[in-house]
Amino acid sequence: MAILAPSILAADLSNLAQQIRMVEIAGANWIHCDIMDGHFVPNITFGPIIVKAARRVTKLPLDVHLMIEKPDNYLEDFIKAGATTITVHQEEVIHLNRTINEIKTLGANAGVAINPSTPVSTLEDIAEFVDLVLIMSVNPGFGGQTFINNSLRKVGEVAELRKKLNANFLIEIDGGIDRITAKQSLDAGCDVLVAGTSIFKSDNISAATIELKNLIG
Ligand code: DX5
Ligand code: ZN
């Protein structure tokens, strides 16, 4: 059964506790937190304070996706705030092996993400050390964008890489996930599906969560 990770980027942050509880009760498995700094991506969202607030209202794993420059400087803050998994971008981190080790030493699971234009081959020498590989299926920075179709091919390539390395990281997809792309991503080999708009901007958050959960279950 795949993991559903609603992204609170699309949630009503003035009702964060209620919104998280709603998706939790409806069967969400993880809570995805999109951290943006206005440098690595054009948008700014929130930092460890909101992750800490989320930690107080749920026992679900917090899946923290760092779309920021110099993520090394903030790993400890996010882990102290309650992050379960920290994912950094391959494009931003120069000493990726060191950063992945540091995340694990600090007590969190470690993930690596790649943008739509970054080939899977760039992960060949780091994949065996991570707990999660995140394939971005939109250009990071904003919710509500259209799914980029060749992401499905990349998911297949990551699954092949996992097999070749005899590794056991999870494969996550993020961006433009709705009923149709959720099913396609699952068929392509994804283990974790992030969904923001299709859950939190829907008319009925509980029903949308349940529907996606049933689809990927
Ligand atoms: C994009 C973020 C995504 C985004 C997904 O930069 O990493 O997690 O919130 O949102 P939707 O589901 O709206 O594409
Ligand atoms: Zn994300």
Residues 31-76: tens digit of each pLDDT? 999 999 999 999 999 999 999 999 999 999 999 999 999 999 999 9
* Top mutation candidate among 174, 200, 205 for ligand 1, by most atoms within 8 Å of CB: 174
Tell me the pTM.
Answer: 0.98
Range of the domain at 155: 4-8+11-216
Ligand with an atom nearest the CA of residue 137: 1
DSSP strands (E only) in 95-157: 109-114, 132-136
- The count of C-alpha atoms lying within 13 angstroms of the C-alpha of 75, restricted to the half-sphere facing its C-beta, is 23
**Residues around ligand 2, an ion, CB closer than 5 A:** 34, 65, 174
Going by pLDDT thresholds of 50, 70 and 90, the confidence category of residue 217 is: confident
- Please report the atom of ligand 1 found closest to the CA of residue 178: 12
Query: For ligand 1, is residue 195 a contact (CB within 6 Å)?
Result: yes
Structurally, the chain folds into a number of domains equal to 1
Residue with CA nearest ligand 1 atom 3: 175
- C-beta separation of 162 from 169 below 8 A: yes
For 156-168, write each residue's pLDDT tens digit. 999 999 999 999 9
Domain containing residue 179: CATH number: 3.20.20.70
**Do residues 5 and 30 make contact, with C-beta atoms less than 8 angstroms apart?**
yes
